Structure formats: structure tokens, C-alpha cells
Amino acid sequence: MNQTSLHLCYVITRSDVMGGASVHLLDLASGMQQAGHQVTILVGGSGIVNDKAKALGLRCHSVPELVRPIHPIYDLRCFFALKRWFKKLRPDIIHLHSSKAGLIGRLAAAGFDIPVVFTAHGWSFTEGVSALSSLLYSKLERWVSPLTDKIITVSDYDRQRALKLLVASAQKMQTIHNGMPTLAAATQQRSWHGGRIMMVARFEQPKDHLLLLQAVSLLQGPFYLQLVGDGPLMAEAKLAAEQLKLNDKVEFCGSRNDVAALLQQADIFVLASRWEGLPLTILEAMRAALPVVASNVGGVAEAVVDGETGFCISHGEAQLFASALQQLLDSPELALQFGQAGQQRFLQQFTFEKMLGQTQALYQTLLGDKS
């Protein structure tokens, strides 16, 4: 194939959940296919990611040996399975997503003379994880870095973090911020819905639903919190809400397919996290012209301008979270003002079209370097 029509092979670890990395990958793969490229997705196991890929008309194959936990036998089998796939497909670019697929995929791709790209959706050695895990994963990443032609970080924070720990050279890493597709109704005027706060996130690490519940228990006046998502820590969050006497103030919505519509009925978006890359849910909220109150971790401050489009809160500070939320609840005019500013920032810097163009340019540069 020539440089204007490529065969792209995307690899990601988990098929069982739709997290930020899988949403990013499916958007990217669909965009590349619509741009005229041939796309093949390899994903660990079978689940919702496979289903959504097929619904989008994307070629998607299951790799049962690719599992999230460290498992020497499965990991060795995965190495050989991916090697067989790469030999069969002979793509022009191998683009790996998520830590496990990124590690084994780069080892399996060695020797094929195919450009390899790895997107780090928030490092496993970011601030907030344990010191032991950070040391282990930074050493692993440094080990496979020579097998990578380009590392994409979704935030400048992640790029600087990797540089600080000597994971890779500055020339090998490029920041391409996450992007979301624009919506036809994106610039419609919003109205106030009486203090409806929303968080969209799975109930698992690194999200911190318990901190948010502590914060909203301190709020005064009318409000209503909707928690969209499911996950293994939901039962713990429900118990905390009951103990804080928030049953009539909090709704556990479960996993939903109509998040964009739900955001149109919200007034404030909130995201409490222990660590992050650059959360897609924040970009969705900005697209919907919502003010954002979020933990100041990872690349969050690259999207949310504190005091202009929302508030960035130091992690673990329930009282500060409550104060920021209270300020917006007490001033719907300020909330609407922040939301409009956030939407303009989204349209200028975080659209899917911008991300797609930057990624295509990276592919062509790599192929030019190889030739």
C-alpha cells in the first residue's frame, strides 16, 4: 500500500469494559477507516469492545491470550499469538494501546521492520500509584522503549513524567491530546436544571467516588448527584452514600449508552480521581458546555482552566471539592459562564478532527523515516 492508504493494526488489552482507552481506540480506528485506511483491531478476549467495533464496521479479532493481570503462561502465549497476527497481517503501522498490550506487543513486533507506535493513556508509574509499582513499571517501560518508534502521550504531564524518569528521549515522545467528535447541537444555549451534578466514570481505580460523596455531604441547598457507570466498587459507594444519609440526593445510574444526552440535562460535571491521563469524560463535559470540577491530577489542568472553565482541586481535599461545587450551585450564572468558556476551549483544542490529523501526520512521518 502507498502512504495515502495504509493498513493499520491497533492492539488493546481489555474487551470487557468501555474505558477511556477503548473509546479513544474505537474513535481513532473508525476515523482512520473513514479516511480511507484499512484497519484491523486485536483485543484481549471478547466483550463490549468487540461488539462496538463490529457495529462500527471495523474488523476486530479476539486474542484470548491477552489478559490484564500479569500471568507468565498467558503472557508467553500472547507474545507468540501477537507475533503470528503481525506476520499474517503485515500492517504498515502497529499501534498499541494500554500498558499490557503495549509491553507484549512491542516485544512481539520486534524484528518485523514495521513502525511501532504506543499510546500511553496515563502511565502506570504516574504520581498517585505506589512507589513499588511506579519503580517496576518505569523500568519495564524503559526496557521496551528502544522497540518503539514513537510514544504518544495524551497529555504534556505524561510526557514530562516520562522524561523525568528517563523512560524515553524527548524526540521519541509526542503529545497528542485526546479529542472527541463535535456534535451538531454543541453550541446550543444551555439552561439551569436546579443543581444537577454528574460524574461519569467506572467504579474502580483510579476514580475516587468516596471522596466525592464526602464532598457532596457538605453541600448546602438543593442539588442532585448522578453517578453514571458501573464497576466492582459500586457496592462500596452505595454503602457510603447510605451512611452519609445521601440516599435521596444521589442516583446510581449504572452503565449508560446515552451519556451525551444525560450531560445536556446536567448543570455541573465532576470527576474525582487519584490519577489520570487526560480523561475523555472531561472533554465530553466541556463539549456539552458544562463547568468542570475535577481532581488536579495528570493532564486534567491542560483541559480545565482553573477559575475560567471550572475548578482544579488538589486530590484528597473533600472540603475544597465541596467549596467549588457550592460556589457553582450558588451562582448558576457563573456555572453557565464557565461552561461556555469550556466549550470554546474544547472546540479550539480538543476536537477529534485535530487528534486524527495529528495522528495521521505522525504515521506518515514514521513511514517516511523507514523508507
Here the CATH number for the domain that contains residue 366 is: 3.40.50.2000
Q: What's this model's pTM, rounded to 2 decimal places?
A: 0.91
The answer on 269 and 136 residing in a single domain is: no
Q: What domain range includes position 312? A: 196-349
The answer on 216 and 133 residing in a single domain is: no
The answer to whether residue 184 is domain-embedded is: no
CB-based contacts of 311, cutoff 8 Å, min separation 6: 291, 292, 293, 294, 304, 324, 327
The answer on 220 and 104 residing in a single domain is: no
The answer on 318 and 171 residing in a single domain is: no
The answer on 226 and 327 residing in a single domain is: yes
**Cβ contact 123:162 at 8 Å:** yes
Number of domains into which the chain is organized: 2
Phi-psi region of 304 (alpha: psi -120 to 50; beta: other; left: phi over 0): beta
Q: How far is CA 39 from the centre of its chain?
A: 21
At CA 43, angle to CA 205 and CA 202, rounded to 5?
25
The answer on 363 and 335 residing in a single domain is: no
The answer on 227 and 161 residing in a single domain is: no
The answer on 304 and 250 residing in a single domain is: yes
Would you state the cell numbers that stand for residue 39, as one nine-digit string? 484497519
The answer on 140 and 93 residing in a single domain is: yes
Contacts of range 218-223, beta carbons closer than 8 Å, 24 or more positions apart: 218/318, 218/319, 218/322, 218/326, 219/322, 219/325, 219/326, 219/329, 220/326, 221/195, 221/326, 221/329, 221/330, 222/194, 222/195, 222/329, 223/195, 223/196, 223/197, 223/249, 223/325, 223/329
The answer on 113 and 27 residing in a single domain is: yes
The answer to whether residue 337 is domain-embedded is: yes
One digit per residue, the tens of pLDDT, for the chain of length 371 reads: 345 799 999 999 999 988 889 999 999 999 999 999 999 999 999 999 999 999 999 999 999 999 988 889 999 999 999 999 999 999 999 999 999 999 999 999 999 999 999 999 989 888 878 888 888 889 999 999 999 999 999 999 999 999 999 999 999 999 999 999 998 655 567 889 999 999 999 999 999 999 999 999 999 999 999 999 999 999 999 999 999 999 999 999 999 989 999 999 999 999 999 999 999 999 999 999 999 999 999 999 999 999 999 999 999 999 999 999 999 999 999 999 999 999 999 999 999 999 999 999 999 999 987 65
